[in-house]
Amino acid sequence: MRQIKQLIRLHREDYPIKTIARHFSISKNTVKSYLKKLTDLNLSLERMLELEDPVLERML
């Protein structure tokens, strides 16, 4: 789950999807999928980062 939080931080700092994908060695589509799921939660990025890892994991 730490990777999800790192992904959120990079996205919040306006890193391009391609850069985020390379950073985690995952596909751009996987990054897009995570971002879509995070968007669907209707929580601010800051609030997501405040959540405990198990809570965020259950939400996804």
**C-beta separation of 59 from 41 below 8 A:** yes
Count how many domains the chain has: 1
Torsions phi, psi of 26, nearest 5? -130, 170
Quickly state the pLDDT bin for 57 (edges 50, 70, 90). Answer: confident
pLDDT (mean) for 30-59? 92
d(CA 56, CA 16): 23
Q: Summarize pLDDT for 11-34 with one digit per residue, the tens.
A: 999 999 999 999 999 999 999 999
Which segments of the chain does DSSP mark as H helices, in order?
2-12, 17-24, 28-40, 45-50, 53-59
**pTM of whole model > 0.75?**
yes
User: By residue range, what is the domain housing residue 8?
Assistant: 2-59
